[in-house]
Amino acid sequence: MRRVFTSPLLALVMLVLPFLYLGIQYAVLPETVPVHFNAAGEADKFGAKSSLWLHTCILSVVAIGTYLLIRNLHKIDPKKTAKTSADTLHSLAMVILLFLTVINITITYSAVSYPARFSITRIVFPAVGLLLSFVGYQMRTIQPNYFIGLRLPWTLEDDENWIATHQLAANLWVPGGLIIAIIAWILPFFSAFIITIVITAIIVIIPTIFSYRFFRKKQA
């Protein structure tokens, strides 16, 4: 099952989907469509519908670049330890590609549904929450490396610190991400935005403090 999910062929399908969806919807799009959204997820800039091809291309380039980088970290990591979690890196690469594909399709969908009231944050926030939760789940198996994970001075110097810190982070990121995904649907935008920022800060700061205290304790 993992091999099917991390298959490069499936990655190629994901990269094609935003272009396929835009092509199918292109004829019904108005000549002027929203191309930018403010912090509340509301359209605040408009352009020709042809500009959607450019936006789709740019985000797709970012997606494939990120996918290839993460998938091949075990080959370029200076510590040469990321290779021990190559399967984890492949899964992370695919999930991040899926996340960017969803955002790419959502941009086109927002143009298709306009001027009907549609808040892009109703999709983006839950997607971010689920991404954080998945990354947290994978933190249990991420080995020390310079590219992905909590790359703090103390975790990079000490494998024991790395493992302990990421075990704690996993226990925080998984429920934290799920909470973000849920509140994005339940609460109004501003409340969901504030809670998302607070939860994100908590799940980052607590492991950072733990890692530093772990380092100090070991030094003592």
What count of other Cβ atoms lies within 10 Å of the Cβ of residue 153?
A: 11
Percentage with pLDDT > 70 across the chain: 86
Residue 149 contacts residue 170 (beta carbons within 8 Å): no
Residue reference for tokens 């009907």: 116
Residues 41 and 128: their CA atoms lie apart, in Å, by: 14
Would you state the structure tokens that stand for residue 24, as one six-digit string?
A: 């199918």
- pLDDT for residue 117: 58
pLDDT digits (tens, 9 = 90+) for 182-198: 988 888 878 888 888 99
Torsion 81-87-90-92 (CA) sign: negative
Looking at the predicted structure, is the pLDDT value of residue 79 above 70?
Answer: no
Domain ranges of the chain: 1-118, 121-220
Answer whether 0.85 is exceeded by the pTM.
no
Band the pLDDT of 35: cuts 50, 70, 90.
confident
pLDDT digits (tens, 9 = 90+) for 152-181: 888 888 889 999 999 999 999 999 999 999
Angle, in degrees to the nearest 10, between helices 51-71 and 8-25:
170
Residues 105 and 20: their CA atoms lie apart, in Å, by: 10
Residues 94 and 209: their CA atoms lie apart, in Å, by: 30
pLDDT digits (tens, 9 = 90+) for 6-18: 788 888 999 999 9
